[in-house]
Structure 1
Amino acid sequence: MDATHEVFNQPAALAGYNLFRTNRALRDGLAFNAPQLDLASLDALGAMAGTAEMQTHARLANTNAPVLQTHDRFGRRIDDVEFHPSYHALMKAAVGAGLGGAPWGSHCPNPLPKGEGANAGAHSRRAAAFMLFTELEPSVLCPISMTYAATPALRANAAVFADWGPKLTSHAYDPTPRPWHDKPGVTMGMGMTEKQGGSDLRANTTQAVRDGNDAWGDRYAITGHKWFFSAPMCDAFLVLAQAPAGLSCFFLPRVLPDGTRNAIRIQRLKDKLGNKANASSEVEFHAATAWRVGDEGRGIPQILEMGTMTRLDCALGTTGLMRQALALALNHTAQRSAFGKPLSAQPLMKNVLADLALESEAATALALRLARAFDHPDDAHERLMARLLTPVAKFWICKRGSHFAQEAMECLGGNGYVEEGGEGVMARIYREMPLNSIWEGAGNIMALDLLRATRKGDVVAALADELWPARGAHAALDQLADALPSRIEAMSTEPEARRLAQDVALAMQAALLAQTAPPAVVDAFCCSRLGGDWGHAFGTLGSGVDVDSIIARAMPH
């Protein structure tokens, strides 16, 4: 049968390119925040993440969702989750790229001087790698992020950390359910929230009863439940439970040292909007064996410390998704023609693409600056910036994500709304965006955390120091920088906290762009986001913006 028509004016898939080499904003941000880094590993990761093979793994891992097997065929309880092989291929690549606990180890590049507890630039390097890997939208990075966050927390139990630390910082991935001592590498998850409390962790009812003492310290039997228990196939978990002295943190392995399964009962897997490849679950503990981490009654401070690291990853993840959505939009519009010329040459489309490019570069700048703070834990200024910028970046970048993805999807038209094909990742990105905003504290939680952060040390002076190098770059930035100190000092009511988070984020983004980006980017960002020459949707930049330069800088090829 003869074909009815020839297929033309359809763009080639965005594959077979190096995500790192083509991301000017990321490279310039790294040069500013971590100039000492050897970029060879990031270049290699960028090449791998841009291959059609890895894109296929990400698609298959999401379209073949994990399956819960509570019992074997003989009726024995096993509580296993089966994953598609592509899930394991992605996990192996992510762990191998050092996205898990590796920055806390002694074997990665650029070792830090003794006493700083990490490797020089390791968190900045990992942040860049995390963003690059996220561009695949693989939906496997939840256990990776929790491993990163939980590893330093285990130091509160020296015996457990001595045994598990080298495995957590390994670049090896082993999904088999075996004791830690038989595995080259392990992963960790967390179990905090319960049905009745959610973010109000003090409402937790899970109980911990003292059950002796051994080589790992005080041992407990944990009985209760967790409402969101992500990645139940991790090798161990940090969980919260009520001990005699109050809410406390416990280390709970999935397989006990003698090889027996711990009493973790998976009730069901969550049916989520997105994040399909990751197994999020509800579990019950039936006198499960666990060891205390830190002092009794100090569980929440320990969890909040870990939350700082996972909140960083929320900002990084959204930034990576923004970059991929932008790259897809640029790739499509450069090849698709309408009304006699490419979409990317149409004035209205140029405005949209340039506006998205500004948002993506600003998110990249802020996320990398936050990551840099964790490279210098012994520096008082950097500790203050980590405390201040974590809720700010998590709030603002993640809030912008869903709107960004929707606008980028429109650039692809109906093709962007369809799941199949190379551009099908756009639909996954859109579904994934709300997760980073909700997970580890939604917008109000972040705004409240910012209020607490403003009372820690001399935050006003620290922020002023950060903004000072950009003085004179743009009048609108100077005006905002002048107003922020008095607003922070006078901040006392909750309803104003979201506005403060927004404005601190915008001021920091503008100041960072003034130090890392070309004048066209800086001027357009400040005029639109700070100066008011902007509407209420993307694509409403003023007529004087150099959209061509901004788009050229952002092109993925």
Structure 2
Amino acid sequence: MNPIAPTHPASAPDATEATDATDAASRQHRPGTTHEVTNQAPPLADYNLFSTDAALGEALARAGAQWHRDALARHGAKLGEAEVQALADLANRHAPELHTHSARGERIDAIEFHPAWHALLALLRAEGLHALPFSEPRPGAMAARCAGYFLHAQLESGSLCPLTMTFASIPVLQREAALFETLRDKLYTREHDPRDVPLAHKRSMMIGMGMTEKQGGSDVRSNRTEARPAGAQSGRGARYLLTGHKWFFSAPQCDAHLVLARTTEHDGLSCFFVPRFLPDGTKNAVNVQRLKEKLGNRSNASSEVEFFDAEGVMIGDEGRGVPTIIEMANFTRLDCVIGSAALMRAALVQAIHHARHRSAFGRPLAQQPLMQNVLADLALESEAATVLFMRLAHAFEQSAQAAQPGEESAEALEARAWRRIVTPAAKFWVCKRTLAFTGEAMEVWGGNGYVEEGPMARFYREAPVNSIWEGSGNVMCLDVLRALEREADAAQALFLAWRREAADHLVLTAALDRLAALLNGAPGSREASARRIAQQIVLIAQAMLLRAGPPEVADAFIATRLDEHAADCDRVFGTLPARFDHAALIERALPADYLVR
């Protein structure tokens, strides 16, 4: 007899009740069943990055690139797939590894990447984002390429580095007819060839750049790497031997790099095309010392190298290396703006998605007025960055088609000002704003945003890099001042156009007056105020561009960024006046049916 069994039969439960009670007790004490998982936002996947972005679609139309809409929609859907999004996480969790020597002791300097890295590069090349405006020129091609780049940058940032350098090298290399003839097909192809073999055996190629040395940083004119002729010939097109180092050598696995070095015949710096392998198939004497351990951009390999009589071909005129490679940097700076705008967009979409699926204090976060204010303010900042980079892309295309200086129309002068003046200002301001933006978006996620399982921590770690690479904030702002002086006619054409457009708007007119006052200050005062000048140029530019879209977007942006009585650009996000329709701004940024588009 069971000593603990009930003594009265009527008090015993039936078999079903006894089983339920036993199961409940078992569940109560079984490991892993202490609670039910509820009120957690599902992963954001299977949505279309392009068709859900109204601002990008409208800007594409204004740039005359509607012909590329179907390709972008297809690309946007692909990037939204869960399997593709997983590639970004894998490529960043498994960082590249350097193998300096083979098992036999040969110097190989091979970089081993996770397969996800090559899958990402294959996606980029398949869309032509490395060469589209050059390989398939037509009206709107630059804007089409930049829109596609923007979509991919929302997925993963590190894979963009070798692609953007390859893209930026093409207009420089096109000026070297004989050399470019040997490279064209491998630069233009949409196939990614991951093999680390001599170029003659590859189907495609990538190009990197090497400027920075230990002693100089942004001051590349202090570079000390030396180049001496390898034979009797010297100057443009001749072979040289380079000895020296580079402190930041981006993507050392690239098939060639554009490098600055000082020749013995000329005190200035010259630019050299330095291949990874020599014509006989042996490795060029570019030794990778180590890979950088970086805060973010972990999927991409950044290195320190030394040249031991490494062979290179001079491109451009001797002593004109800085202007030669600066042309390349102008394109990479544009891509920095796009990359930062993309981080904003990616973080914004994740924040809105989370807020729509997470409840607190009895209702979804997205329905709470203060959270709506934060999300709407972020949406404004993101749309302003989007329309800005798309206008810059159009200006790059216009500049490429412009007449010779002195024969340009007012429209061509304005395009030159957008490219030469607004681009470095945008590189400063948009990249700088992305740091605060990604931090705010991470906060929407709360503690979940701070852990590495989700994408927000990666976005946050990526945010600083575009402010630093290709010229830090101060370098960009000083470049804006130089451009204003050297391109005075272009600056005047742009500012006059803005005056005409703002004639009916008191706040914009006052903002232009404040900019003029800053520019008319003493030279020392202008340099000290260079950041304020760059900031004001960008905010005015963004306001002008937003006026081509919905009035409620432009009105909210101008009132909070340019009205001297209300604007404070160092303010935190989420301080929009209550009179603006916050919910409508969020809906424009990401429509409620985004998961089925």
| TM-score > 0.5, shorter chain as reference | yes
Q: Does 2:216 match 1:168? A: no
Identity across matched positions, percent: 51
State the shift of 1:469 in Å: 6.4
Q: Is the 8 A contact 1:30 1:368 kept in 2?
A: yes
Matches within 5 A, 1:260-299: 260-299=282-321
Change in 2 beyond 3 A, CA 1:359/1:39:
same
State the shift of 1:184 in Å: 2.0
How many equivalent residue pairs? 542
Q: Matches of 2:503 and 2:558 in 1, distance apart?
A: 12
Q: Does 2:35 match 1:16? A: no
Q: Which residue does the alignment assign to 1:115?
A: none
Matches within 5 A, 1:322-341: 322-341=344-363
Residue identity opposite 2:550 in structure 1? P
Q: Is the 8 A contact 2:417 2:491 kept in 1?
A: no
Change in 2 beyond 3 A, CA 1:401/1:332:
same
State the shift of 1:490 in Å: 4.4
Q: Which residue does the alignment assign to 2:30?
A: none
Q: Which residue does the alignment assign to 1:505?
A: 538
- Structure 2 residue runs of 5 or longer lacking an equivalent are 1-25, 28-32, 403-411
Q: Is the 8 A contact 1:164 1:180 kept in 2?
A: no
Residue identity opposite 1:189 in structure 2? G
Q: Matches of 1:226 and 1:37 in 2, distance apart?
A: 42
Change in 2 beyond 3 A, CA 1:223/1:305:
same
Residue identity opposite 2:492 in structure 1? A
Q: Does 2:364 match 1:342? A: yes
Matches within 5 A, 1:179-198: 179-198=198-217
Matches within 5 A, 1:18-167: 18-105=48-135, 108=136, 111-112=137-138, 120-167=139-186
State the shift of 1:491 in Å: 6.2
State the shift of 1:337 in Å: 0.6
Q: Is the 8 A contact 2:157 2:462 kept in 1?
A: no
Aligned with residue 223 of structure 1, among 225, 237, 243: 243
Q: Which residue does the alignment assign to 2:577?
A: 542
SS at match of 1:484: helix
Q: Matches of 1:512 and 1:395 in 2, distance apart?
A: 18
Q: Is the 8 A contact 2:250 2:303 kept in 1?
A: yes
Matches within 5 A, 1:452-467: 452-455=482-485, 456-467=487-498
Q: Is the 8 A contact 1:222 1:286 kept in 2?
A: yes
Q: Is the 8 A contact 1:311 1:391 kept in 2?
A: yes
Q: Is the 8 A contact 1:533 1:541 kept in 2?
A: no
Q: Is the 8 A contact 1:534 1:540 kept in 2?
A: no
Q: Matches of 2:490 and 2:514 in 1, distance apart?
A: 14
Aligned with residue 551 of structure 2, among 519, 522, 536: 519
- Structure 1 residue runs of 5 or longer lacking an equivalent are 113-119
Q: Which residue does the alignment assign to 1:7?
A: 37
Q: Which residue does the alignment assign to 1:394?
A: 427
Q: Is the 8 A contact 2:518 2:529 kept in 1?
A: no
Change in 2 beyond 3 A, CA 1:55/1:473:
farther
| Further displaced range: 304-313 or 458-467 | 458-467
Q: Matches of 1:232 and 1:491 in 2, distance apart?
A: 45
SS at match of 1:268: strand
SS at match of 2:278: coil
SS at match of 1:191: strand
**C-alpha RMSD of the superposition:** 1.7
Aligned with residue 301 of structure 1, among 323, 334, 354: 323
Q: Which residue does the alignment assign to 1:232?
A: 252
Residue identity opposite 1:453 in structure 2? A
State the shift of 1:464 in Å: 2.4
Q: Matches of 1:539 and 1:268 in 2, distance apart?
A: 43
SS at match of 2:104: coil
Q: Is the 8 A contact 1:249 1:293 kept in 2?
A: yes
| Further displaced range: 293-302 or 166-175 | 166-175
State the shift of 1:27 in Å: 0.8
Q: Matches of 2:66 and 2:86 in 1, distance apart?
A: 34
Q: Does 2:562 match 1:530? A: yes
| Further displaced range: 279-288 or 456-465 | 456-465
Q: Which residue does the alignment assign to 1:116?
A: none
SS at match of 1:282: strand
Aligned with residue 393 of structure 2, among 371, 393, 397: 371
SS at match of 1:543: coil
Greater CA radius of gyration, 1 or 2? Answer: 2
Q: Which residue does the alignment assign to 1:492?
A: 523
State the shift of 1:466 in Å: 4.4
Change in 2 beyond 3 A, CA 1:297/1:266:
same
1:408-443 Cα distance to aligned partner (Å, 9 max, x none): 0010101111111xxx11111100000000000011
Residue identity opposite 1:339 in structure 2? F
SS at match of 2:212: coil
Change in 2 beyond 3 A, CA 1:491/1:165:
farther
SS at match of 2:529: helix
Q: Is the 8 A contact 2:65 2:143 kept in 1?
A: no
